[in-house]
Amino acid sequence: MTNLSAILLAFICLLFTSCASKKNILYLQDIDTKEGRKINYAHNKIQVNDILTIKISSLYPETAIPYNFDNSLSTNSSFIETLKLQGSLVSKEGFIVLPIIGSVKAIGKSTTELESHIKSILESGNYLKGAIVSVRILNSKITILGEVITPGTYTITEQNVTLLQAIGYAGDLKINGDRKDILVIRDIDGTQFIKHIDLTKTDWFDSPFYFVKQNDVIVVNPNNTKIKSSGYIGNIGTVLTIASILLSTVVILTR
């Protein structure tokens, strides 16, 4: 019986030593090495199924009216949702259609590049002189799944959103989220790319995955502790309770 008690005691100690350490929990543990780093801001490229709002104006506003879609807003709809309905959808071939101008290739260009391209078409084709073009992506969104506080799909309006900021939208990782293996799934021009990121390090700061892009899917897998606790026995509290009952039974029987 003494040997059995010793085994149970050792089992309990093993459970405590298996708890996660700081090296598995703390973010960016080598962050000091990145002090003073120059940030290369991303210019997200327009993709198939993006919805664009395009505004064309000039020194004489009335001359630009024919080149714009009707942007009158319904009082019964939200501003952004109405703009989406009136926006230009990028076709699977990568084109948008504008009034008078017709088809314009948009895929693969940043919003700034598309602005310059449309302005060039207007001026070189003698459509509109002194044109001012503004392009925005209306349906930029990212999806965050797994061990985060609030998983879901989030709309992003900023041009540059970092991976850490994106995770912040979802309320941060739960304590059982695996910080060493964050999965980012990204589609670029019909090709899927997958990146595994260790949030306890900063080596990914200089990669294309520092900033998220529209339609990114971010998956936070559970750590080993959560995976082990999902079995029949359950979490560590349940295991300790069972071990305590067994130990108490042994003590009673040996009296």
Specify the CATH number for the domain of residue 199: 3.10.560.10
Domain finish residue from 116, 137, 158: 137
Q: Are 148 and 174 in contact (CB under 8 A)?
A: yes
Q: What average pLDDT does the structure give for the chain?
A: 85
**Whether 152 and 112 share a structural domain:** no
Task: Give the list of residues 6+ apart from residue 228 with CB closer than 8 angstroms, or none.
Answer: none
Q: Please compute the mean of the pLDDT values over residues 18-30 and round it to a whole number.
A: 78
88 and 122, same structural domain?
A: yes
Same domain, 91 and 129: yes
Q: CA angle 156-160-166, nearest 5°?
A: 55
Q: Sorting pLDDT into bands at 50, 70 and 90, what band is 75?
A: very low
Element (H or E) spanning 113, and its range?
A: helix 111-124
Are 131 and 63 in a shared domain? Answer: yes
* Residue that wins the pLDDT comparison between 113 and 251: 113
Q: How many domains does the chain have?
A: 3
Residues contacting 122, CB < 8 A, separation 6+? 56, 67, 101, 128, 131, 133
Q: How confident is the model at residue 81 (pLDDT cuts 50, 70, 90)?
A: confident
Asked whether residue 162 falls in the same domain as residue 196, the answer is yes
In this prediction, residue 107 carries a pLDDT of: 94
The reply to whether 72 and 95 lie within a common domain is yes
Same domain, 30 and 85: no
100, 116, 137 - which closes a domain: 137
Instruction: Give the pLDDT score at 157.
Output: 83
Average pLDDT for 197-219: 95
Q: Write out the DSSP string of 15-46.
A: HHHTSPPHHHHSS-TTGGGGTTPPP----PBP
Distance CA 248, CA 12 (A): 13
Please report, for residues 24, 27, 28, 85, 180, the alpha-carbon distance to residue 197 in angstroms, rounded to integers and kept in the order given.
Answer: 13, 12, 11, 36, 7
Q: Are residues 125 and 197 in the same domain?
A: no
Reported confidence tier of residue 245, pLDDT bands at 50, 70, 90: confident
> Are 238 and 206 in the same domain?
no
Domain that holds residue 193: 22-42+140-222
Question: Does one domain contain both 69 and 179?
Answer: no
Of 120, 137, 154, the domain-final residue: 137
Most confident of 9-13, 172-176, 237-241: 172-176
My answer on whether 174 and 248 are in the same domain is no
Confidence of residue 226 (pLDDT cuts 50, 70, 90): confident
Q: Are 163 and 121 in a shared domain?
A: no
